[in-house]
Amino acid sequence: MEPIYQQDFYINDSCVDRYGRLKPSMMLFYAQEVAGQHCLELAVDYETLAAKRLFWAVTRHRVQITRLPMRGETIHVETWPMPTTKVAYPRSIVAYDEEGHEVFRAISIWVLMNLDTRNMILPGKSGIVVSGTVRGTELSVPRSLLPVVMKNHDRRTVRYTDLDRNGHMNNTRYLDWISDLIPSEYHSVHPLKEFTICYHSEAREGQTLDMNWEILDGPSVQVDATRVSGGESENRVFSAKVLFG
C-alpha cells in the first residue's frame, strides 16, 4: 500500500469566504477527507474501527499557509501518516495549486478513543498499527496553548449542524466559530497565514461554550473556550492561535 494518499479538490462557492478565499475550516475539511480516504485504504477507517468500538479523534492541528487558494481553483492534496508515538498517530498534509506551487501544509495529531467510554486508548493497547513515513518536509508538532486572560467574550451553543458521526462537534466547525469572532473588515486586510488549534475535550450537542478572545500584536488572534455548566465556565474545550498577514 502506498504510504502517500493523493486527492484533488475543486474550490466552489461553498468553500470560500466573502472575499473568494478558501475558508480555514475547509483546509481542515480537506485534511479530514484525505485522512479518512487513506484510512479506508489502510483498513483503519470509521466502520472498521467502530466494529472494535473505537474511533479516531484529532487533538491538535497546525497549518501554515503560503497562499490562500481562491474560488475556481483546483488544489492537489497529499497526506501520509508519520511514525506512531507512544500516545498518538501524527499525520502530515501538503496542498499544491494547479501549477505545482505549495499553498498550505499541515500536521494533525490523531488518537484512538473508545466509542462507549470516550476514553483514549494508547496505540500499544489498541491493536491498530499504522506504518509511518518521514519525507523531511513535515511541520513540527504544535505545542499546547496555555490559557491567558483576554478582553473579549462570546458565548455560543453547539447545535445539530456542528456535529459529526461521532456525536460531537466536528473539528472543522471550531475554525468557523473562531472566524466569526472577527469582523469582515479585519479579515479583508489581514489574510490568514498560520493557525494552531488544540482540542482539549469534546463538545456535545446542547452544550454552551464561553469563548474568551483577543486580537494581539503580530497580528494574531488568540481564543480559549470553556464549557458552561450551571452558569459557570469549567472544562477547557479548545484553544487556538491564529496568525494573520
Residue range 46-73, pLDDT digits in tens: 999 999 999 999 999 999 999 999 999 9
pTM of the model: 0.92
For residue 199, being part of any structural domain is answered with yes
Q: Looking at the structure, do residues 25 and 115 belong to the same domain, yes or no?
A: yes
Is residue 78 very low, low, confident or very high in pLDDT (cuts 50, 70, 90)? very high
* Residue among 72, 80, 60 nearest 1 (CA): 80
Domain boundary among 91, 126, 161: 126
For residue 142, being part of any structural domain is answered with no
pLDDT (average), residues 158-179: 94
* Residue among 245, 143, 136, 141 nearest 194 (CA): 245
**Residue span of the structural domain in which 92 resides:** 5-126
146 vs 39, residue with greater confidence: 39
Q: Looking at the structure, do residues 47 and 85 belong to the same domain, yes or no?
A: yes
Q: Looking at the structure, do residues 87 and 159 belong to the same domain, yes or no?
A: no
Name the amino acid, one letter, at 241: K
With a pLDDT cut of 70, the percent of the chain lying above it is 98
Is residue 3 very low, low, confident or very high in pLDDT (cuts 50, 70, 90)? confident
Instruction: Assess contact for 240 and 222: CB atoms under 8 A.
Output: yes
Q: Looking at the structure, do residues 12 and 119 belong to the same domain, yes or no?
A: yes
| Overall domain count for the chain | 2
Strands 232-244 and 192-199: antiparallel
For residue 35, being part of any structural domain is answered with yes
Write out the E strands in the chain: 5-10, 54-65, 74-81, 89-96, 102-114, 120-121, 152-157, 192-199, 208-216, 220-229, 232-244
Q: Which residues pair with 123 in a beta bridge?
A: none
Domain boundary among 126, 142, 174: 126
Is residue 151 very low, low, confident or very high in pLDDT (cuts 50, 70, 90)? very high
Q: Looking at the structure, do residues 82 and 160 belong to the same domain, yes or no?
A: no
* Average pLDDT score, the chain: 94
Q: Looking at the structure, do residues 28 and 76 belong to the same domain, yes or no?
A: yes
For residue 133, being part of any structural domain is answered with no
Q: Looking at the structure, do residues 111 and 195 belong to the same domain, yes or no?
A: no
For residue 44, being part of any structural domain is answered with yes
CA distances from 66 to 69, 96, 193, 216 (A): 9, 10, 7, 21
Is residue 231 very low, low, confident or very high in pLDDT (cuts 50, 70, 90)? low
For residue 136, being part of any structural domain is answered with no
Q: Looking at the structure, do residues 109 and 160 belong to the same domain, yes or no?
A: no
CATH code at 195? 3.10.129.10
* pLDDT for residue 148: 84
Phi, psi for residue 226 in degrees, rounded to 5: -125, 155
Q: Looking at the structure, do residues 74 and 15 belong to the same domain, yes or no?
A: yes
Q: What is the pLDDT of residues 86-108, one digit of tens each?
A: 999 999 999 999 999 999 999 99
For the four alpha carbons of 125, 130, 132 and 138, in that order, the dihedral sign comes to negative
